[in-house]
A and B are shown apart, each in its own frame.
Chain A
């Protein structure tokens, strides 16, 4: 019937700068961007558009529309003890991506089962995309403001449509948080990124073969009425 999963949305996200930090450069403070968005970064965009702990966003495909351009900027990041230090950040300049994503119910939160109402979450998500997202959109780090607009995935000409396949090696995929995996651990996932005709097809988080334990962590608790607005009430408000 449909060849895309249920509850699929598609939109384009664009901005003047993007910084998808390479973990290798993160600790030193001299951040350098990956050439492609990570799964986690796009998931972050989705969560800024609309999110409830009831469901989990899954990013299916990302299409790169503009040719890669980098730009370096000297910055003065803050130091905890007061004052600034100097660092050089390497951003991606003038980016645009088309995203296709869908959400699935978070089975690890049985207490929110009442909130899993078909249709309502999807309707709010669509409306949020049309309005450019409920919260501010960031492309990677918070230095890089982005904008969201609805679109049809695959329309228009992309810069990499002619290139059959480009491999990018082992890249950071995303974090496994305890509330989405059910285990009390924070793990990071990696995947071998390849871009076929400009489209990045992400592997599902559970299918990522390579992952690394970071530290033990406990999931945050959500309860309706306390720190969660149920979708019925939300819809009425909107």
Chain B
């Protein structure tokens, strides 16, 4: 189905659903910042007023913010306000609302008659008028708006020849030593005619006195507008005759505030429809209702967090956005999150045990099963919630130019299908990932420690591991575009991303972090993170690739005798041996195995010779200090050596990503088995070479 039609459907399902915490803006309304609030009683008498402008100070800058309110609009008022009057029906500027604006020396033209006419039409509409509207009409007709506001001290005036006049230039007051009030600060040029008023109408027995939260009032305006607008064309979304609009909303998300999804070019030089069509109303007909509802829904979805930005706003680049939602408005598991963020509290309790218990995690057993059971339980909750609702939709947005936005990805899924595919992604690509958690230990101190939790990496982590922290926006966007079908459509993973990730994980000395964060400890921590991600990618890739089609256990595979796997284990063992020996002598050098890792991946057999020879002096050292550990690790080394089949060991061909899986599992296993107290401290500081 067309994305526009789907958004329209979502609006209709969601707008009356009061179980949701928030809802899209109703159509025939927009959000506008209001400066002043006037409270009336139901017979149209002024009661009080207040200024809505607030002052916020950040550092040495002060910001004056208005209050965003939902106000009713007419289609004309959305586009025709720059030249000539085009009134909003209810909440409007003083220039429109106040009959006595000019009397008080207002310099701008008074559009009061236009405003009054619209309001009268609404108030006198027999079927859809509202008592609040009538009250406001009665008050406005009295023509004392500015007078009341000046008397209440909201608007500022000065005495000129016995008459009170609105202040238009603040210089004179500043000379007197008065500070500019927030209201004047927030208006361009200090012009008080531009201040927008919103209304409250109080009536005995009615709890809600607002004009923006009142469902009845909103519906009354919608009904009135529908009768007023004439049906002048066929709408392709609704499938019937309706009031057609040529202009569509912009500002879908804040980072692309000028971009429109549906834009009609005013410049005939843009060849978007010339040929068959002779003017811009011919190619497509979309009704105002469909356009408003769909765009409001999209904005609301992004605003409430169901859209994820990719890339940054920098140097005329705009970020892309991926929005995912269920047509019913229910919560869904977001596709671009890694397992850690997705499962947050629930799973983390399981996979993040206390410090002591973590030491006892046996990395030789398969953690995959327990992980997939926990994930299954979590997804089952969603399955039950989503089973009877409409489809899940994922939509990607991007803009190449400032004024236009394109739909770069659009897919619909059945709920069961979506949940199954997301679970499959998290299961296939799960591996031990390095995370840091901060625990509050009281006394306002937090203790941070690293944990290796099982989970799948997010696309953001993937492109960090593959490309580093390059700031190329289009590269980020195209990588995520390639990975998204793997997550939600269960496609095989692109091989070049896996190869790059593996390659980068082998290269210990490459710089991984931008300058401001880069130091020895954090680089090592980053390397460990990328190691986890590369292993996860290789594991998932080999599961989905039809030629390899192998599922690796999430733990050390003791009986795996393939050449690559065993070589990985050897490397980890040699590194651990040397590391402990360096520790004993309190040296902070990197190990030979670590330095030669890249070479080892290219030429394992010949590089192993170098590593083994380099181990000799460390073996001597450990013989005197840690004999027990030495014995254990040498036994392990022999065990692994024996597993090599004939001819495999001398084969010098480059290793595939499989060796990384073995290397990582063995490394984690050894660390837990032979952990010392110093290990713990060093690990928390990220100093594990």
Question: Contact at A26–B284, with CB atoms within 8 Å?
Answer: yes
Interface residues on A, range: 35 or more
Cβ of A25 under 8 Å from chain B: yes
Chain A residues contacting B273 (CB-CB under 8 Å) are: 26-27
A79–B401 CB distance below 8 A = no
Bound complex: CA A69 to CA B264 (Å): 28
A78 surroundings in chain B (CB, below 8 A): 271
Q: How far is the CB of A166 from chain B (nearest CB, A)?
A: 9
Whether, in the assembled complex, A208 has its beta carbon less than 8 Å from a beta carbon of chain B, the answer is no
B409 touches A26 (CB 8 A): no
Selected contact of B283 from candidates A27, A69, A88, A210, CB within 8 Å: A27
Q: At the interface, yes or no: B239 with Cβ under 8 Å from chain A?
A: yes
List of A residues within 8 angstroms of B407 by Cβ: 25, 30, 32, 90
Q: Flag if B278 contacts A215 (CB, 8 Å).
A: yes
Does the CB pair B236–A23 fall under 8 Å?
Answer: yes
> Shortest distance in angstroms between B487's beta carbon and chain A's nearest beta carbon?
15
Q: Does A87 contact B (CB under 8 A)?
A: yes
* Contact indicator A90/B4 (Cβ below 8 Å): no
Given contacts A72-B409, A78-B271, A88-B406, contact A29 B236 (CB under 8 A): no
User: Would A25 and B401 be within 8 Å (CB), given that A77-B271, A79-B270, A85-B270 are in contact?
Assistant: no
When the two chains form their complex, are residues B234 and A74 in contact, meaning their CB atoms are under 8 A apart? no
Q: A29-B272, A80-B269, A86-B401 are in contact. Are A24 and B4 (CB under 8 A)?
A: yes
Contacts of A69 in B (CB 8 A): 485
Cβ-neighbour of B481 out of A72, A79, A81, A86 (below 8 A)? A72
The answer to whether A223 has its CB under 8 Å from any CB of chain B is: no
Q: Once bound together, how far apart are the Cα atoms of A31 and B411, in whole Å?
A: 16
Residues of A within 8 A of B283 (CB): 23, 26-27
Is there contact, CB below 8 Å, between A81 and B261? Answer: no
Contact of B404 among A30, A72, A89 (CB under 8 A): A30
Contact with B along A86-118 (1 / 0, CB 8 A): 111110000000000000000000000000000
Query: Is A167 engaged at the interface, CB distance under 8 Å to the other chain?
Result: yes
Taking the closest CB of chain A, its distance from the CB of B295, in whole angstroms, is 12
Q: Kindly state whether residue A70 has any CB partner on chain B within 8 Å.
A: yes
A170 touches B239 (CB 8 A): yes
Are B406 and A80 in touch, CB under 8 angstroms? Answer: no
Looking at B264, B268, B273, B276, which has the most chain A CB atoms within 10 Å of its CB?
B276
Given contacts A26-B273, A79-B270, A170-B5, contact A86 B406 (CB under 8 A): no
B280 located at the interface, meaning its Cβ lies under 8 Å from any Cβ of chain A in the complex: yes
Interface of A is mostly: strand
Flag if A167 contacts B1 (CB, 8 Å).
Answer: yes
A85 to B401, CA, bound (A): 8
Contact status A27-B263, CB under 8 Å: yes
Knowing A27-B284, A170-B237, A190-B239, the reply to whether A86 touches B409 (Cβ < 8 A) is: no
Give every chain A residue within 8 A of B408 (Cβ-Cβ).
Answer: 72, 88, 90
User: What residues of B have a CB within 8 angstroms of the CB of A80 in the complex?
Assistant: 268-271, 274
Bound Cα distance from A70 to B481, whole angstroms: 10
B474 partner residues in chain A, CB cutoff 8 A: 74
Please give the number of chain B residues whose Cβ is less than 8 angstroms from any Cβ of chain A in the complex: 49
**Smallest CB–CB gap between B688 and chain A, Å?**
42
For the complex, is B517 an interface residue (Cβ under 8 Å from A)? no
B616 located at the interface, meaning its Cβ lies under 8 Å from any Cβ of chain A in the complex: no
Judging by beta carbons under 8 Å apart, are A27 and B406 in contact?
no
Within 8 A of B (CB), among A154-212: 167-172, 175, 186, 190, 210, 212
B382 within 8 A of A: no
Q: Is the CB of A28 within 8 A of B272?
A: yes
Contact A212 B399, CB 8 Å, known A25-B262, A27-B273, A169-B2: no
Contact B404 A24 (CB under 8 A): no
Cβ–Cβ < 8 Å partners of A26 in chain B: 272-273, 283-284
Q: Is A60 an interface residue (CB 8 A)?
A: no
Query: Which of B6, B404, B411 has the most C-beta atoms of chain A within 10 angstroms of its own C-beta?
Result: B404
Whether A22 is near chain B, meaning CB under 8 Å from some CB there, is: yes
Q: Are A87 and B400 in contact (CB under 8 A)?
A: yes
B268 touching A24, Cβ below 8 Å: no
| Contact indicator B2/A27 (Cβ below 8 Å) | no
Give the residues in chain A near B5, CB-CB below 8 Å. 169-170
**What are the residues of chain B within 8 A of A219 when measuring CB–CB?**
none
Least Cβ distance of B232 to chain A in Å? 12
Residue-wise interface mask of B (269-298) relative to A, using a CB-CB cutoff of 8 A (1 in contact, 0 not): 111111011101011111000000000000
Residue of A27, A78, A90 ringed by the most chain B CB atoms within 10 A: A27
B353 CB within 8 Å of chain A? no
- Closest-by-CB residue of B relative to A193 is B1
The residues of B that contact A77 with a CB separation of less than 8 Å are 271
Contact present for B406 and A32 (CB under 8 Å): yes
Contacts of A23 in B (CB 8 A): 236, 283-284
Contact present for A210 and B485 (CB under 8 Å): no
Give the shortest distance, in Å, between B328 (CB) and chain A (any CB). Answer: 17
* A168 with B401: CB separation less than 8 A: no
Complex contacts, A30 vs chain B, CB 8 Å: 399-400, 404-407
Please, how many angstroms separate the alpha-carbon atoms of A28 and B291 in the complex?
14
Contact: B237 with A29, CB < 8 Å?
Answer: no
Residues of B3-19 whose CB lies within 8 A of A: 3-6
CA–CA, A90 and B1, complex, Å: 15
Q: How far is the CB of B269 from chain A (nearest CB, A)?
A: 4
Complex contacts, B271 vs chain A, CB 8 Å: 77-80
Show the binding face of A for B, using Cβ within 8 Å.
22-32, 34, 69-70, 72, 74, 77-81, 85-90, 167-172, 175, 186, 190, 210, 212, 214-215
Q: Assuming A30-B407, A170-B239, what are 5 further A-B pairs, CB within 8 angstroms?
A: A24-B236, A26-B273, A72-B398, A168-B1, A190-B239
19 examples of A-B residue contacts, CB within 8 angstroms:
A23-B236, A23-B283, A23-B284, A24-B4, A27-B284, A28-B272, A28-B406, A29-B265, A34-B2, A79-B271, A80-B269, A81-B269, A85-B270, A86-B400, A90-B409, A170-B5, A171-B2, A212-B285, A214-B276
